[in-house]
Amino acid sequence: MLLVSANVNGIRAALRRGGLARLAATGADAIALQEVRADDEQLRTVLAENGFGDWAVAHSPAEAKGRAGVAVLTHHPVKDVRTGIAEEFEGQGRWVEADVVVDGRVVTVASAYVHTGQAGTARQAEKERFLTAVGDRVGEWAADGRLGVLTGDLNVAHTADDLKNWKGNRGKAGFLPEEQAHLDRWATEHGLVDVTRRLHGPGPGPYTWWSWRGQAFDNDSGWRIDYQLATAPLAARAVEASVGRAASYAERWSDHAPVLVEYAV
């Protein structure tokens, strides 16, 4: 099963920039999207007109138009879909999980979008609560021994290997010790494995996000904030991982790059 995760910066913008064609060209079995920024009808129309019309779609749009939104697409059967993670975050379009049936095995694929936050503010406190809710959910996965993978834009660089300018970003949202501690706990308490890091080896990088401004992309001055974190039983089946960094600035279709992982399901 080739699983691709991508923050598309708006599905219609991604279409205009050629992003959907790039995603289709990967040959993915399932695609997890973040920042879809569309309602159900808009998303299904775009997909139907661009080669994904017969794919199953699990979508959690935000009630606020033009904001957030997450989805899981697959050409395999889907057994169940869940969009709630905590009552506080209902209607925000930040979480969806689909139980995808691949050759008789059920693989839970979650797409998550975590907002950026700002150190010392109420928005940061909300981000922390969301990360706590994610931890509670993946703890449930670990308890029942499922094949599961948390994908998405977590807006947290886990270690200095995941951020080019880590010294200059100490004390800032996205590189706070309290944020990183959530990912530590998911690993130590629930057995989640960062399969990209495991298969790639030590950093720096590979980065998944670069500012549109300045020379960040050309200088590879990026952040690794997009992940595939798999439960131990699924991580053991991860055989190859890569980041779909554009060949040049002109070929970028999002400020994020897709994260691709092949699982021998």
- Separation of alpha carbons 150 and 196, rounded Å: 12
Question: What are the structure tokens assigned to 83, written together?
Answer: 């969009």
**Would you say 244 and 9 are in contact if contact means Cβ atoms under 8 Å apart?**
no
Q: How many Cα atoms occupy the beta-carbon half-sphere of 130 within 13 Å?
A: 23
**Would you say 217 and 252 are in contact if contact means Cβ atoms under 8 Å apart?**
yes
Indicate if the alpha-carbon torsion angle 218, 220, 223, 227 is positive or negative. positive
| H or E element that contains 242 | strand 238-243
Secondary structure (3-state) at 192: coil
- Separation of alpha carbons 250 and 185, rounded Å: 39
Catalytic residue among 29, 153, 162, 226: 153
Task: Pick the closest to residue 69 from 44, 109, 104, 96 (CA basis).
Answer: 96
First to last CA, the chain: 6
Q: Which residues pair with 110 in a beta bridge?
A: 97, 150
| CB proximity list for 29: less than 8 A, separation 6 or greater | 1, 2, 3, 74, 75, 76, 102
DSSP 133-170: HHHHHHHHHHHHT-EEEEEEE-----SGGGBTTTGGGT
Quick check: is 39 catalytic? Answer: no
Query: What is the bridge-based pairing of β-strands 78-82 and 95-102?
Result: antiparallel
Tell me the catalytic residues. Answer: 153
